[in-house]
Amino acid sequence: MAQFLPRQFFPNYGSIPRSYFLGHHRAGLTKMKNMLSSIDYVVECRDYRAPVTSINPMFEEALGKTRRIIVYTKRDLGAIPQSPMQRQIETKVRNLDRNSTVFFTSSSSRADVNKIIKHLRADAAAPEKLTGCRIMVVGMPNVGKSTLINHLRNSGVGKAKALKTGGQPGITRKIATPVKIIERESGSHTYVLDTPGVFMPYVPDAENMLKLALVGCVKDTVISPITLVDYLLYKVNLHDPQAYQRWSEPTNEVLPLLEHFARHTGLLMKGGIPNVDGAALHFIQKWRSGDVGRFLLDDPDAEKRRREDPLQHERLSLTQALKYERVTRKNKPDANEPTA
């Protein structure tokens, strides 16, 4: 049999939507900015699988110089736990933000969350105020903020889940009441505030929009699931074309893959015709639960090179992003209303 050759580039970016900036994202960001004066730390959550793409430049500019801890969530989905690959990834990702305190967490690992609690308890610079230390947790939609806070609370004060979590973005729509995660004898306890996930007004690079949709920052109704699986297939093949061998031979063709997958998983319509749309959503869910390989969608080495080369530094500025948003709103009065 001929050797399988994965695609080396993805040919089909077509007309992918580049925005998902909803009304509650804008309102949440404004409220966060207004609350900053009473906040001692910001914990910025990013998705481990897209450590570069899930950075929201809006936070960089809006949250200013408030002390920041970066937490890469969903560690369990980006690499096999304790593997050499995991260690390699984390060294590279840590090196991208040498001046920040960085943690990697998996919701299934108490040890990961304990490290953050330990750091916060030991932090000599934590303010000893009568009102306690207040931490705001920010990040893109669905990145795992509420889950992290529930685990911090459980690890820090032994209490059960306080916040609602869910598999689709937008579960948290308002800044929540503070949740206590550390108790101190002095009475200066540490509290955490959950915030609504905030997307960016415009994603200049269509590939980044696909990555953000795959990791779940964007609702599954915004981009065609078949396009998403096509992009995922391209990435999976570069990582390990055997990752979906339970359902299909290695292939670069999305429709045959989805047809095989639909038949294996019983997603059939009348007359036994494979339900490829349903299969696409199910295949994405499989990948999101770690069943189709664990790997990064971003390349930290490429990001390092990009950051070191000022000529390639093309990140969209806040001004450009807001300009784009104004134009979109002018053309479409309901552009900021949530889709389904």
Report yes or no: 62 and 31 within 8 Å, Cβ to Cβ: no
By CB neighbour count within 10 A (0-12 exposed, 13-18 middle, 19+ buried), where does 8 fall? exposed
Question: Which parts of 95-114 interact with ligand GTP (CB under 6 A)?
Answer: 105-107
CB distance 140 to 56 below 8 Å: yes
Shortest separation between residue 170's beta carbon and ligand GTP, angstroms: 5
- Is 25 among the residues that bind ligand GTP (CB under 6 A)? no
Q: Of these, 171, 175, 222, 226, which contacts ligand GTP (CB under 6 A)?
A: 171
Stretch that binds ligand GTP, among 10-18, 35-43, 145-153, 207-215 (CB under 6 A): 145-153
List the structure tokens of 270: 């009348």
Q: Does 81 bind ligand GTP (CB under 6 A)?
A: no
Binding mask 186-225 for ligand GTP (x = CB under 6 A): ----------xx----------------------------
142 annotated ligand-binding residue: yes
Nearer residue to ligand GTP within complex by CB, 173 or 304: 173
Nearer to ligand GTP, 192 or 276 (CB): 192
Q: Rule CB under 6 A: say whether 147 interacts with ligand GTP.
A: yes
Residue 170 touches ligand GTP, criterion: CB under 6 A: yes
Pairing verdict, β 190-194 and 133-139: parallel
Contact 236, 251 (CB under 8 A): no
* Binding residue (CB under 6 A) for ligand GTP from 78, 132, 169, 241: 169
To the question of whether residue 147 is assigned a binding role by annotation, the answer is: yes
Taking a C-beta distance cutoff of 8 angstroms, is the pair 200, 208 a contact?
Answer: no
318 binds ligand GTP (CB under 6 A): no
- Interface with ligand GTP by CB under 6 A: which range of 13-21, 50-58, 137-145, 303-311? 137-145
Applying CB under 6 A, which of residues 132, 141, 274, 300 lies at the interface with ligand GTP? Answer: 141
Assigned token pair, 198: 């905030």
51 binds ligand GTP (CB under 6 A): no
Q: 203, 246, 190, 183: which is closest to 43 by C-alpha?
A: 190
Closest separation in Å from C-beta 183 to ligand GTP: 23
Q: Which of 78, 132, 144, 250 binds ligand GTP (CB under 6 A)?
A: 144
Considering only 40, 76, 90, 259, the residue that binds ligand GTP (CB under 6 A) is: 76
Q: Which is nearer to ligand GTP, 226 or 243 (CB)?
A: 243
- According to DSSP, the residues that pair with 192 across neighbouring strands are 135, 179
x/- contact string, 236-275, with ligand GTP (CB under 6 A)?
Answer: ----------------------------------------
How many positions of this chain bind ligand GTP (CB under 6 A)? 24
The yes or no reply on residue 49 touching ligand GTP (CB under 6 A) is no
Q: Are 248 and 194 in contact (CB under 8 A)?
A: no
- 155 burial (CB, 10 Å; 0-12 / 13-18 / 19+) is buried
Interacting residue ranges for ligand GTP, rule: CB under 6 A: 73-74, 76-77, 105-107, 139, 141-147, 165-167, 169-172, 196-197
Which segments are annotated as binding site for GTP? 142-147, 197
